[in-house]
């Protein structure tokens, strides 16, 4: 049953803003299924009214999705979506998990779930820090539109004591990796790992971080990064982000 559901969702997600209609062969190729299997699923979705077969034998999503989209709570926000996932990860890694965004020239903590450990990274919702250092700052800047980032480059370069070209190169490396790790950049002895959260427009206005004492974080960095990326991918899906946009 789960396999069938995954295949159906894969077909829906094979359509993009650039390709709003696809042939059966293109759908089959995109979801990596035999054409005969893809046809059976596509035919069922067409009969159910979720896909439309066009005159040129291509398929597109039907207007039923607009009706379903209208049922989504308009107030559903990042806290409601991310809180259960944050709590699960915090329990798994025993470190502090937090969500961040940019307001003005500051990075702001939107929400945080503290670990049970007595030796932990403490950050409170509403806490603001300058956009200078730290993994969360780098992730948010790395995915910022160029027109918004350019005016900040001079101040960032001065604060970091590097050139603007080096700032841009560093942020590009973050985008390529899909996450950022910092050791003691904002607070001495504290390590943080951050990854982007994509919204329905495949834009990054939020990121999630795992933070804690460097002595613990470094030995678990690979495991924590995996947990973080799985968590941000799950939040992004709930937030409307497309699979193609995610690291």
Model's pTM, two decimal places? Answer: 0.71
Residue 191 token pair: 């390590």
Identify whether residues 129 and 202 lie together within a single domain: yes
Identify whether residues 121 and 60 lie together within a single domain: no
Identify whether residues 41 and 118 lie together within a single domain: no
Residue 209 token pair: 């971080």
Q: Which of 128, 91, 119 is nearest to 212 (CA)?
A: 119
Identify whether residues 62 and 82 lie together within a single domain: no
Identify whether residues 55 and 96 lie together within a single domain: no
Identify whether residues 82 and 165 lie together within a single domain: yes
- Where residue 19 sits, what CATH number does that domain have? 1.10.10.10
Identify whether residues 66 and 158 lie together within a single domain: no
User: What integer pLDDT is reported at residue 75 of this predicted model?
Assistant: 44
Identify whether residues 170 and 110 lie together within a single domain: yes
112 lies in which domain range?
Answer: 78-245
Please list the pLDDT of the chain residue by residue as tens digits (247 residues): 667 888 898 898 888 877 888 999 999 999 888 999 999 999 999 888 889 888 788 998 887 776 666 555 544 578 888 989 999 999 999 999 999 999 888 898 988 998 766 555 667 777 888 888 889 999 999 999 999 989 888 888 888 888 999 989 999 999 999 999 999 887 788 899 999 999 888 899 999 999 999 988 989 999 999 999 999 999 998 888 875 566 6
- Where residue 126 sits, what CATH number does that domain have? 3.30.450.40
Identify whether residues 154 and 65 lie together within a single domain: no
What total of structural domains would you count in the chain?
2
- How far is Cα 195 from Cα 175, in angstroms, rounded to an integer? 10
Beta carbons of 21 and 60 less than 8 angstroms apart: yes
- How far is Cα 68 from Cα 77, in angstroms, rounded to an integer? 18
């Amino acid at each position: 049953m789960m396999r069938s559901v995954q295949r159906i969702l894969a077909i829906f997600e094979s359509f993009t803003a650039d390709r709003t209609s696809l042939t059966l062969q293109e759908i089959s190729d995109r979801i990596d299924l035999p054409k005969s299997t893809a046809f059976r699923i596509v035919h069922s979705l067409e009969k159910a009214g979720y896909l439309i077969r066009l005159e040129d034998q291509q398929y597109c999503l039907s207007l039923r999705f607009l009706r379903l989209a209208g049922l989504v709570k308009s107030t559903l926000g990042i806290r409601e979506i991310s809180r259960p996932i944050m709590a699960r990860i915090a329990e798994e890694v025993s470190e502090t998990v937090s969500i961040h965004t940019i307001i003005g020239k500051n990075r702001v903590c939107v929400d945080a779930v503290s670990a049970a450990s007595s030796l932990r990274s403490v950050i409170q919702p509403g806490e603001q820090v300058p956009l200078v250092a730290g993994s969360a700052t780098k992730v948010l800047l790395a995915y910022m539109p160029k027109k918004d980032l350019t005016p900040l480059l001079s101040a960032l370069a001065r604060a970091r004591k590097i050139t603007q070209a080096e700032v841009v190169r560093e942020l590009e490396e973050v985008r390529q990796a899909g996450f950022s790790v910092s050791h003691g950049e904002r607070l001495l002895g504290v390590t943080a790992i951050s990854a982007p959260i994509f919204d329905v427009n495949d834009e990054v206005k939020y990121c999630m971080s795992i933070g804690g004492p460097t002595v613990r974080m470094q030995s678990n960095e690979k495991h924590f990064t995996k947990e973080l990326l799985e968590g941000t991918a799950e939040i992004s899906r709930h937030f409307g982000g497309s699979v193609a946009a995610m690291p």
